[in-house]
Amino acid sequence: MKKPYKKLITIKMKQSTEANTFIMLLKKNNIRITQLRFPGKEITFQLAHKDLSLIRKLRKQAKVRIEIRYSEPEIILQKDLKTGIGLILLLIVPLLLSRFIWQVDVEAQTVEIEDEVMDYLQKEVGIEFPVRKNAFISDNEIRQTMMRQFREFSWVHIMKNGSKVTISPQLAPKIEPPQNSSTNQYLIAGNNGVVTHFQIEKGVRKVEPNTTVYRGDVLVSGIMEYGEKSILIGAEGKVFVDYWLETSFTIPKTIEMEVLDDYGWNYQINWNQIGASIEQKSFKPLKSIVTYESYRMFHKKTEKISEKDIESVILPLLHEKMIYSLPLESAIKAEKLLHVSADDDTVKGKVLYLVNENIAKPHLIHQGE
């Protein structure tokens, strides 16, 4: 007994001489016909789907018009090799793609900052897509690199969602310096360090880059020597140095932290104001019609800390605390974990930070100097 065909198609055509010729051609080519019926003036029968290409050739030869439909449209997945391969690919391909990062978005306060940061990440940092998640640059390295490059940033939030990374830099608040007279002052070193760069507005530079300076050294002189004459010009500006700063920390093993879930802007349209403007035919400024305010959504998260979690959990928190404790325009270039120990209740350790900071301090020029 022959096994039934798994895939069948139904042929429907009108009774005619051409239809009889077509059926004879099918029989001549050993094509199996089942369920042959003659409803009204029509002929219907079933054939194997694998013979479809030959059936179409024979139809042209017999010059008959036929209607073809699948006999089992309710079967979506067929039990064959192609369907099995398709299902395997459907499962494996998304799994493989999910192991890569495909997109990095920058969300900043202005479009110009977003474009500048994205350009820096692509050209200077060398981020290309796609990149494997385990080979992607770490959060700490992204944060430190960006804060060294963009000194106006106070912090950089990094959020990962699936194959997408969102980088949100936060601008430091602008503080206007006090308006003091700088015509009678030096700039001296307020700390030890190695000079990296200058932002001098007035004065004569007394040290060179990559020079080690010590507390109290004159960095910028307020007196310019001109031949045998001395001209009082004052000194004003900034001198940045690198120095190492060691800190200790003691934290409980179980900590509760707030994690940023979402942030953005809420907009509200004053429809009454719009209606009044239309009636009076006088359009108000956009600020009086559309109001908006920023929002941030956090959730509290409890973490149990171990020595293995120091680099992934504790170091970013210590980094953020340290950067907020430093003066504006300071940056942390590198950090080293010196020592970690844990007992039943607490985790203790020491961290060494490489800080870049403006150490220029004003010093009055006394009479006779």
CATH number for the domain harbouring residue 132: 3.10.20
Q: Say what the pLDDT of residue 35 is.
A: 85
Domain match, 225 and 345 both: yes
Assigned domain for 208 exists: yes
Assigned domain for 347 exists: yes
Q: Which residues contact 128 (CB under 8 A, 6 or more apart)?
A: 122
CB–CB of 254/303 below 8 Å? Answer: yes
Domain match, 132 and 249 both: no
Domain match, 14 and 113 both: no
CB–CB of 129/101 below 8 Å? Answer: yes
Domain match, 104 and 247 both: no
Assigned domain for 84 exists: no
Give the SS3 label for residue 285: coil
Domain match, 286 and 320 both: no
pTM (2 decimals)?
0.46
β-strand partners of 342:
347
Assigned domain for 336 exists: yes
Distance between CA atoms of residues 198 and 119, nearest Å? 25
Domain match, 335 and 288 both: no
CATH number at residue 52: 3.30.70.120
CB–CB of 145/125 below 8 Å? Answer: yes
Q: Say what the pLDDT of residue 270 is.
A: 67
Assigned domain for 249 exists: yes
Selection from 352, 173, 328 nearest residue 249 by Cα: 352
Q: Say what the pLDDT of residue 3 is.
A: 45
Bridging pattern class, strands 331-342 and 346-358? antiparallel
Which residue's entry shows tokens 């607490």?
Answer: 346
Distance between CA atoms of residues 121 and 127, nearest Å? 6
Domain match, 109 and 56 both: no
Assigned domain for 206 exists: yes
CA atoms within 13 A on the CB side of 39: 6
Domain match, 134 and 277 both: no
CA–CA–CA angle 271, 275, 280 (5° rounding): 145
State the total domains in the chain.
4
Domain match, 273 and 242 both: no
Q: Which residues contact 5 (CB under 8 A, 6 or more apart)?
A: 32, 48, 49, 50
Residue-range definition of the domain harbouring residue 23: 8-70
Selection from 148, 146, 149 nearest residue 169 by Cα: 146
Domain match, 248 and 126 both: no
Which parts of the chain have pLDDT scores under 50?
Answer: 1-5, 74, 178-179, 286
Assigned domain for 220 exists: yes
Assigned domain for 292 exists: yes
Q: Which residues contact 51 (CB under 8 A, 6 or more apart)?
A: 31
Q: Say what the pLDDT of residue 2 is.
A: 44
Q: Which residues contact 87 (CB under 8 A, 6 or more apart)?
A: 77
Domain match, 166 and 183 both: no
Domain match, 321 and 346 both: yes
Cα Rg of the chain (Å, integer): 38
